[in-house]
Amino acid sequence: MKQRLFLFCAFGSIGITTEIFFTAIVDLIDMIQAGNINLKLQGKSYIWMFPIYGLAGILFPVIMPYFEKFPAIIRAAIYATGILIVEFIAGSLLDVFTGSCPWEYQTGWHIMGYVRLDYFPLWAGFGYMVETIVNFLSRFEI
């Protein structure tokens, strides 16, 4: 139980940190393309994201053994698909219970504003990174 709580907190923190870096870099690229350079690099996230990202620390160790014999590219695609499903469900639930989905995608190939299909490769890379981190952190006894 302590190990699961540790992984939940670790991935909640890793997810939010990654999201803050990602949104800061995307905003910088958008500003540069618009001819307006602002080097503040202000990223953003939402408190709701901590438990959503924390789920990776609980779900990944459960599902990883089923896919460990698959090539890395297939595992990454499976993880990305799972992440998009969780993102869609989480966005839908947040919309119902809070009145809005905090990320509400309006550009790209999105489904109801809850997921962006063009982020699939990014989620695949993130999923592979999560697998690597789970393998590393699981070596520590908590």
Residues 53-104: pLDDT tens digits? 999 889 988 999 999 999 999 999 999 999 999 999 999 999 999 998 888 8
Residue 142 lies in a domain: no
Secondary structure of residue 115 in the 3-state scheme = strand
CA separation for the pair 52, 100 (Å, rounded): 16
| Between residues 134 and 142, the one the model is more confident about | 134
Q: Which residues touch 1 (CB under 8 Å, ≥6 apart)? A: none
Query: Do you know the residue count of the chain?
Result: 142
CA separation for the pair 9, 133 (Å, rounded): 13
- If one counts the domains in the chain, the total is 1
Residues 103-140: pLDDT tens digits? 888 888 999 989 999 999 999 998 999 899 988 988 87
Q: What is the mean pLDDT of residues 26-45?
A: 88
Confidence of residue 39 (pLDDT cuts 50, 70, 90): confident
Q: Do residues 88 and 115 make contact, with C-beta atoms less than 8 angstroms apart?
A: yes
The mean predicted confidence, pLDDT, of the chain is 91
- The whole domain housing 26 covers 2-137
Q: pTM, whole model, 2 decimals? A: 0.81
Residue 93 lies in a domain: yes
Residue 74 lies in a domain: yes
CA 24 to chain centre: 15
Helices (H), the chain: 2-33, 49-67, 72-98, 120-137
Reported as type and span, the H/E element at residue 110 is strand 110-111
Secondary structure of residue 111 in the 3-state scheme = strand
Residues 85-96: pLDDT tens digits? 999 999 999 999
Q: Do residues 15 and 50 make contact, with C-beta atoms less than 8 angstroms apart?
A: yes
